[in-house]
Structure formats: structure tokens, C-alpha cells
Amino acid sequence: MTREELVQKIEELKKEKNAIVLAHYYSNPDVQDIADFLGDSLELSRKAGTAEADVIVFAGVHFMAETAALISPKKKVLVPALGAGCTLADGACGKDLADWKAANPDGTIVSYVNTTAEVKSHTDICCTSANALSIVKGLPADAKVLFVPDKNLGAYIMSQTGRKMELYDGCCKVHDQVTTEMVKEMMAKYPDADVLIHPESACSSDPEILENPNCYMYSTSGILRHATESPKKQFIIATEVGTLHKLQKDNPGKEFIPVSEKIVCKYMKLATLEAVYEALRDEKFEVKVPAEISGRALEPITRMMSK
């Protein structure tokens, strides 16, 4: 089946089943182009909750679809590809949090949305890279905080707030490749460019980066906003390369240079156009959260969404 035929079939199935396709900025470009809504984790979480659809096809990784299922329990949530995991989400387990909470009954667990429902069920409040700073700033000053699971994002938050937190030893294996040395090398090649960096990156708390006036730390949505609003014409993009598609589409007169062509999440690329079509056609790979944890897992997401 040609690309055009696949797109037509997907559009027909969406109408027939009252379905929408949500896609993350890291997904394949042709999937981004047919998505009803494109966003980062926070934007997609909100859309899953407000969309008037019976079926949601989530072109992302499993924890994202799981979050959508928690927020929208009456909707059928499908993930196009089995095995679309996440090194960050898979790096944390609920038992570790339960043990920490038992040892620190007055502690507060702040979990990134990039976690499993099991981890969320032991969490006090969730956050995303877009709102992590405001969530942490809003906690009581005397609260002992465990930030889960991304140590790079956690270190960045501490650098910006001066607040000490215990950091879970986890990271995104993709963003963890973005080092200070890599950024400096690209800045030397493109001295007039702004450098837009995701805070999951290994360099996110390095003063050498944070104090450089041409470096900016943003969630994916923040990267897109800066690129559109800035009068600059050249940008080094230090996040997953899938983001370049949207950047170039929205800003045809500007140049976007990946900090490295190797910053690729293979799991995000599993949701192909054909996989989206098959998921819609067969309504397969439905994501369900066990009833015994769904209520507890939803609570920290609800707290985050109310902020």
C-alpha cells in the first residue's frame, strides 16, 4: 500500500471509529503529519483527557499510552507497536519508591510522567519537563523530596531552585548522550546559533552550559516556541532528532542543526504509518491499567494537571 493509500485509509477509519491519533514530537515525520494532535508529554496528557473521541491511537511509547488510559478510562487507548518501551520509564520500579516512602513517611515523591503506572501509584505528584520547575518550587520548603527517575532533569531543577533533592539513579539513554563536550564542539562550528537543550541531557546542570548566553534549557514545546519567536536564523537542537521535522515545518526560513545525528529514540520510531493503520483497523494493542493501581496512579497526575 502506498503512503497516500495508507493516509486515506487512516482518515476513513478515524471517522468510522470516532478515533484520533496523538503523536509525540519524536515520532516518525509521516506519523506526525497525520496526527490530530502533536505535542510533548504534558500537552498530550491534557489532550487525552479532553478529546471527544472513543478511540485514541497513541503514536509514542508505552508509558504515554498508559498515562492516556489513566486519564481517559472510558476511551479505548491503542499503542501501534508492541515493544515501544522507554529506558527512562523502565529504569524505575514501584518497590524502590515504596521502600523509600516507608523509610521517609514525611517525604514527597515527585515522579516524571515518563514512568510506569506502577511507579505513579507510589507517587505524590507528577511532573513533565515543561512544568517540573514550577511543581518543585510549589512544594513546602521543608519537604524531603525524592525525584524520580531522571537524575539529569533532577540535577537541572536543583541548579535552578537551589533546592536539595534525592535523585533516583535513572536517565533517558538517548538524552544522556548529549554531553558538554558535544555541545561545545557544535558551538565552535556554529558560533552564531542558539543552542536549545532538553533538560534530560547529561549536560543540563553543567555551569559551563547554563551560564552560556547562547544556551537555553527547554522542554520540547519550549524548544519549538523559542525557535519560532527568536529573530535568530540558526539553531543547534540538542534533543531527539524527530523534533527537527516540526521545527523545519514551522520555520522554513531558519536552519536547524542536530547536536548529533545519533540522538535517536528507536522506540519512538516503532509507530510507523502502517502500524498506526493496523492498530486502527484491528483495534489492537489496547493499553489497560490494572484496577488495583489505576486509582492511585491517577492521583499524582490529577494533582499535576490542577497546578
H or E element, residue 59: strand 55-59
Residue 133 domain flag: yes
Q: Name the residue among 156, 253, 262, 258 with its Cα closest to residue 200.
A: 156
Q: How many domains does the chain have?
A: 3
**What residues contact residue 249 under an 8 Å CB cut-off, 6+ apart?**
none
**Are residue 181 and residue 129 in the same domain, yes or no?**
no
Give yes or no for a contact between 192 and 80, defined as CB atoms under 8 angstroms apart: no
268 secondary structure, DSSP code: G
Interatomic CA distance for residues 52 and 37, integer angstroms = 13
Please give the C-alpha separations between residue 22 and each of 19, 43, 44, 294, in angstroms, as whole numbers.
10, 10, 7, 21
**Are residue 113 and residue 159 in the same domain, yes or no?**
yes
**Are residue 214 and residue 252 in the same domain, yes or no?**
yes
Residue 100 domain flag: yes
What is the span of the domain harbouring residue 204? 175-258
Give yes or no for a contact between 130 and 307, defined as CB atoms under 8 angstroms apart: no
Interatomic CA distance for residues 59 and 153, integer angstroms = 24
**Are residue 160 and residue 133 in the same domain, yes or no?**
yes
Residue 153 domain flag: yes
For 194, the grid coordinates are: 542558539
Give yes or no for a contact between 130 and 46, defined as CB atoms under 8 angstroms apart: no
* Crossing angle of helices 3-17 and 273-282, rounded to 10°: 30
**Are residue 211 and residue 68 in the same domain, yes or no?**
no
Residue 263 domain flag: no
**Residue ranges of the alpha helices (H) in the chain?**
3-17, 29-34, 41-50, 62-71, 94-103, 117-120, 132-137, 151-161, 180-189, 207-210, 220-229, 243-250, 273-282, 291-305
**Are residue 250 and residue 185 in the same domain, yes or no?**
yes
**Are residue 159 and residue 298 in the same domain, yes or no?**
yes
Q: For the chain, list residues with pLDDT below 50.
A: none
173 secondary structure, DSSP code: T
User: What CATH number is given to the structural domain containing 65?
Assistant: 3.40.50.10800
Residue 143 domain flag: yes
181 secondary structure, DSSP code: H
H or E element, residue 111: strand 108-112
pTM of the model: 0.95
283 secondary structure, DSSP code: T
Residue 234 domain flag: yes
Residue 53 domain flag: yes
pLDDT of residue 270: 96
Helix (H, G, I), strand (E, B) or coil at 272: coil
Helix (H, G, I), strand (E, B) or coil at 147: strand
**Are residue 105 and residue 251 in the same domain, yes or no?**
no
pLDDT of residue 305: 87
**Are residue 191 and residue 228 in the same domain, yes or no?**
yes
Interatomic CA distance for residues 124 and 165, integer angstroms = 15
Q: Name the residue among 6, 48, 4, 54 with its Cα closest to residue 23.
A: 48
Residue 243 domain flag: yes
